[in-house]
A and B are shown apart, each in its own frame.
Chain A
Amino acid sequence: AQSVTQPDIHITVSEGASLELRCNYSYGATPYLFWYVQSPGQGLQLLLKYFSGDTLVQGIKGFEAEFKRSQSSFNLRKPSVHWSDAAEYFCAVVRYNQGGKLIFGQGTELSVKP
């Protein structure tokens, strides 16, 4: 069965520092990959997605993610973190032939130090 692992439960970075959130997936073929963000009291908002093609995808709010098939990873990055980026981040996968059933990782909570 497919699964998603986010190894880091909680990460703290200083404002202005770079960020990388890790995501690994287990799946027999290339899945569709997503990153969502959840701010307190808000729903899950899509940051970016990867289906095929260029393995480096750009998203909203200055985020990007790189798909690495050899490592079964889809890590999320941002070159310079802002205090407003503090939130919970979820990596998710969908099998191409399983409609919209999203399978989520456990989430990584990001704190930003001034």
Chain B
Amino acid sequence: EPEVTQTPSHQVTQMGQEVILRCVPISNHLYFYWYRQILGQKVEFLVSFYNNEISEKSEIFDDQFSVERPDGSNFTLKIRSTKLEDSAMYFCASSEGQGASNEQFFGPGTRLTVL
């Protein structure tokens, strides 16, 4: 069964460093998402992406964040200069179509720890 994969499973970085979190969505999916979950808090939407453009982003997704689909298979989330409060579990998701009726398939997440 096709699945969304994410690498690495755990990333530890120093404050101020850049990190890139990688995701491989399901191959025929066209819509891609990033969510994050700070420990003990809700899963929060960060950004959605379609046709090489951001479709929607939350207020969390500021200039320190960027997303890219560099090669037609990977979907990446970059944090330019990490802060302590960026420590969280980051989930990638993909769906065939847009709209609420299209199921989003989630990856297992990348735990980011900023020291």
Contacts and interface: CB of A to CB of B under 8 A. Distances in A.
Q: Do A and B truly interact?
A: yes
Interface of A: 31-32, 36, 41-46, 49, 51, 90, 92, 94-96, 98-107
Interface residues of B, number: 28
Contacts of B104: 46, 100, 102
Given A41-B108, A42-B108, A43-B4, A99 B103 contact: no
24 contacts: A32-B100, A36-B106, A43-B108, A44-B106, A90-B43, A92-B43, A94-B100, A95-B100, A98-B56, A99-B48, A99-B55, A99-B56, A99-B99, A99-B100, A100-B33, A100-B99, A100-B100, A100-B104, A101-B45, A102-B45, A104-B42, A104-B43, A104-B44, A107-B43
B8 to A, nearest CB: 13
A80 B64 CA distance: 47
A30 to B, nearest CB: 11
A92 B105 CA distance: 14
Interface string B67-94: 0000000000000000000000001010
